[in-house]
Structure 1
């Protein structure tokens, strides 16, 4: 596996401080960011909850609220409450804390394997990942329009490969459908437990999802008139996953208004099995221009 993937696995291997108390850190290279990436906090919170659950149970759903932006310069403390240990379901509540204040609340439920009826919607027919450009190839296309610092940021190694099927031109975005397809997988093979595979997918699930709501308005992350942030995030895991194999993230945004957007996602394996679903509400605020002196 690559150094970036190895670093992510270390990031998700939260340190146990006490029986139900854990500590997670943010990579040094992220210390200059304004806030911690939301997917990191969700994945570390899930990893903390998993450390208190029997190996016979996998997470089937989690619901998280982002309360305050995380500070990337200091560790995050995760406090796990063992809400219930039942015959087939286990429930946990996790609170993430920094500077003595909550930055995230998460509830997660875990379930033993059971046989039952099975159905699902078909995966959309889309281009395969081999037909699409990588992040580095896209950055190369726009290198004459961005600063050396921005290019370095775009080209830096990432733990996940992401290939957009119909992305926006960041420098000349035009309105497009809110339907948003992205292939993703870890940048290299990962031999990890089913629990850790879930944590890896949880980390990736916060990428691109809110971007679905920007597409109909011809907006992009680099737009200086725009402020975005995840407000809440929910994941349903329908089956075990392999984060190192290509998965299709099929997303859309049925509604935006009142400074918020509603976004949905379905995650399929390459052979068409639906393995996870996501829902997120995001902040989508138009920044007021600064008054000139």
Structure 2
């Protein structure tokens, strides 16, 4: 795939080639000194799964296990298994493969439109309007801009609460917006709020998302991450993604390795 002169976009990330039935391949490749970004491969896996369900069935949850480090300089192949198509739900499993080895294993579930109560128990986290916040650079995200409101945990160099949106127009495709949300959801870590002299967050082990309501990702959404626990060499946190008008769009949890050493996201860390 030929990249735009000014660099790839998030829609380039979410462009897959259909190789065969239930078999897809990513087209965007680029040099990166770091392992393949987990949010990228998770978003692509969700897109591949979504291509195999009825168009009116949208993702309501996913759970992915990151098994090996991937390489952004080579394509990723996505193999989808159609576990079940019921009256209201479709279940899929996806493996993302590079060089014959699985880098991600994901289960995803999709739901047909369903009428019922719509209630949100808790208000959205408090944050200044994005226009009133300074910009913050979140690396590894193509054509996404972010703003940093006041932080709930003092002294963090990496924000646990931030606004973000795509800077390119996105089509009116709810599946694609859910995939961009997935792409964004892995960029932060609630564990950056832990004390500077604690052990440091390491690679992601697994990541789960629940999609409660549709949200446009070319409009501002607020990501809020909350540390929960560290034990047995693993750290776990939760998070929410809300729209600008305070509607809870998605909830997430993530677990990472927690290595001995200083927390690099706190001042004073070497």
TM-score, length basis structure 2 = 0.86
Correspondence 1:261 to 2:235: yes
Residue matched to 1:207: 187
Residue matched to 2:37: 37
Q: Distance in 1 between matches of 2:103 and 2:115?
A: 37
Equivalent of 1:246, from 213, 220, 243? Answer: 220
Residue matched to 2:112: 112
Q: Distance in 2 between matches of 1:157 and 1:90?
A: 30
- Partner secondary structure for residue 202 of structure 1: helix
Q: Distance in 2 between matches of 1:264 and 1:77?
A: 29
Equivalent of 2:18, from 16, 19, 24? Answer: 16
Query: Which structure is higher in helix share?
Result: 1
Q: Distance in 1 between matches of 2:33 and 2:175?
A: 28
Residue matched to 2:268: none
Correspondence 1:129 to 2:126: no
- Partner secondary structure for residue 102 of structure 2: strand
Equivalent of 2:253, from 279, 284, 289? Answer: 279
Structure 2, unmatched stretches of 5+, are: 263-270
Q: Deviations over 1:154-184 (max 9, x none)?
A: 7x9841111122469xxxx9755x9931111
Task: State whether residues 5 and 187 of structure 1, in contact with CA within 8 Å, keep that contact through their aligned partners in structure 2.
Answer: no
Correspondence 1:183 to 2:157: no
Q: Which has the larger radius of gyration?
A: 1
Residue matched to 1:164: 148
Q: Deviations over 1:37-82 (max 9, x none)?
A: 0000100000100111111100000010001111222111100000
Structure 1 residues 287 and 126: CA distance shift in structure 2, 3 A:
closer
Task: State whether residues 62 and 107 of structure 1, in contact with CA within 8 Å, keep that contact through their aligned partners in structure 2.
Answer: yes
Structure 1 residues 251 and 174: CA distance shift in structure 2, 3 A:
closer
Task: State whether residues 240 and 252 of structure 2, in contact with CA within 8 Å, keep that contact through their aligned partners in structure 1.
Answer: yes
CA RMSD of aligned residues (A): 2.9
Task: State whether residues 124 and 247 of structure 2, in contact with CA within 8 Å, keep that contact through their aligned partners in structure 1.
Answer: yes
Shift of 1:24: 1.2
Give the total of aligned pairs: 257
Residue matched to 2:84: 84
- Partner secondary structure for residue 93 of structure 1: strand
Task: State whether residues 249 and 265 of structure 1, in contact with CA within 8 Å, keep that contact through their aligned partners in structure 2.
Answer: yes
Structure 1 residues 109 and 5: CA distance shift in structure 2, 3 A:
farther
Q: Distance in 2 between matches of 1:73 and 1:6?
A: 13
Q: Deviations over 1:197-229 (max 9, x none)?
A: 111111001011x2x212222389xxxx95621
Q: Distance in 2 between matches of 1:86 and 1:203?
A: 28
Residue matched to 2:195: 217
Task: State whether residues 14 and 48 of structure 1, in contact with CA within 8 Å, keep that contact through their aligned partners in structure 2.
Answer: yes
Shift of 1:33: 2.1
Shift of 1:3: 7.8
Task: State whether residues 158 and 187 of structure 1, in contact with CA within 8 Å, keep that contact through their aligned partners in structure 2.
Answer: no
Residue matched to 1:71: 71
